[in-house]
Amino acid sequence: MEQSHLEIISYTDPYCTWCWGSEPILRKLEEVYGDQVTISYVMGGLVEDMRKFSDPGAGIGGELWYKQVADHWLEASDRHKMPVDEQVYYDVKDDVFSTYPACIAFKAAQFQGEKNGNRYLRRLREAGAAERMVIQNTEIQADLAEGIGLDRDKFLKTLENRTAEKAFREDLKICRNKGVRGFPTFLLRGNEKEILLRGYNSYETFESWFKELTNNKIEAKKLKGESAEIFSFISKYGKAAAMEVATVYDLSLTDSETLLKEMTIKGLITETKAGNGFFYSLPEKAMECDVFTGKCL
């Protein structure tokens, strides 16, 4: 069967908790459909200045914005199951808070390649959502960039000369032209057809539209969910949450957590506290571990 190709454009913001909650779904799409799907990102700029921001629907606005946003994150995490550390908002309650600097930082990373930009966006999300890092801070942004192998000086230069900000302003125009006002929003495009999905959507919703847009000519890879496959998954991305493993491999969250704990005990992976949850990554000597026996040299 001839395969079709699909493009997903994610209109997003590094601080958006429902965008963070969509990460397990996007990772499953990447794992199941591989090269048949391309995912790119457009920055939407969720909050320009929190002092002027109001979202009555979420109960956010006014002097206690930091508590309101923190509570919103916890409520969202209870639903999407990705780890969050809401205390970061108490750390910045006396600062001028904006999500624009983090959006601009993504654009700065993107100048070092599309894949590097995508990797950096994920790192921003991890740090901002669950590691209590103030990702609107330039030094933290530069540290995160350097930490994933980007050129720190080049990164900072695109911030200082406002090249990255200019690129971000172009993203804002794209969002306005598409009528995108909330995040996440996804544009699915294939076979000269497209559909706009607004808000947090299930994997099944994406899967249904994939079939529709390709006339059922897209092939899904069967995943086993065994330790060796999960080890490779974590190795590929560097870091994963239990909900991501659960979503990708069709496990319950409880079964995913149990399996990851077992792999941690065997020394195959390491567990790091991340807000109200954990991240799982490879130990320093991961290459010396046998994923089938669980023995590490």
Q: What is the pLDDT of residue 225?
A: 87
pTM of the predicted model as reported, rounded to 2 decimal places: 0.93
Q: Are residues 236 and 129 in the same domain?
A: no
Residue 292 phi, psi (nearest 5): -90, -40
Q: Up-side HSE of residue 123: CA atoms within 13 Å toward CB?
A: 21
Q: How many CB atoms lie within 10 A of CB 251?
A: 19
Could you tell me if residue 92 is inside a domain? Answer: yes
DSSP 8-state assignment for residue 132? -
Q: Are residues 11 and 136 in the same domain?
A: yes
Could you tell me if residue 258 is inside a domain? Answer: yes
Q: Are residues 157 and 83 in the same domain?
A: yes
Q: What is the pLDDT of residue 275?
A: 97
DSSP 8-state assignment for residue 47? -
DSSP 8-state assignment for residue 94? T
Q: CATH no. for residue 239?
A: 1.10.10.10
| CB 75, CB 82: distance < 8 Å | no
Could you tell me if residue 141 is inside a domain? Answer: yes
Q: Are residues 23 and 161 in the same domain?
A: yes
| CB 26, CB 121: distance < 8 Å | no
- Residue 172 clears pLDDT 50, i.e. is over it: yes
d(CA 151, CA 135): 18
Q: Are residues 134 and 273 in the same domain?
A: no
Condensed to tens digits (0 to 9), the pLDDT of residues 192-239 reads 899 999 999 999 999 999 999 999 989 999 998 889 999 999 999 999
Q: Are residues 130 and 63 in the same domain?
A: yes
Q: Are residues 124 and 12 in the same domain?
A: yes
Q: Are residues 272 and 148 in the same domain?
A: no
Could you tell me if residue 188 is inside a domain? Answer: no
Could you tell me if residue 254 is inside a domain? Answer: yes
Q: CATH no. for residue 118?
A: 3.40.30.10
201: its two tokens: 């959507």
Full residue range of the structural domain in which residue 243 is found: 227-288
Q: Are residues 169 and 241 in the same domain?
A: no
Could you tell me if residue 219 is inside a domain? Answer: no
Could you tell me if residue 282 is inside a domain? Answer: yes
Q: Please give the tally of structural domains in the chain.
A: 2
* Mean pLDDT value of segment 72-84: 98
Q: What is the pLDDT of residue 253?
A: 98
Q: Are residues 160 and 239 in the same domain?
A: no
Asked if omega into 83 is within 30° of 0 (cis), the reply is no
- β-strand 6-12 against 37-43: which pairing, if any? parallel
The helix-helix angle for 227-237 and 253-265 (nearest 10°) equals 90
Q: Which of 97, 99, 98, 108 is nearest to 165 (CA)?
A: 108
Q: If residue 259 lies in a helix (H) or strand (E), which one and from where to where? A: helix 253-265
Q: Are residues 11 and 148 in the same domain?
A: yes
If you search the block for the tokens 């032209």, which residue do you land on?
177
Could you tell me if residue 145 is inside a domain? Answer: yes
Q: What is the pLDDT of residue 292?
A: 41
Condensed to tens digits (0 to 9), the pLDDT of residues 81-124 reads 999 999 999 999 999 999 999 999 999 999 999 999 999 999 99
Question: Which region among 57-61, 158-162, 291-295 has the lowest average model confidence (pLDDT)?
Answer: 291-295
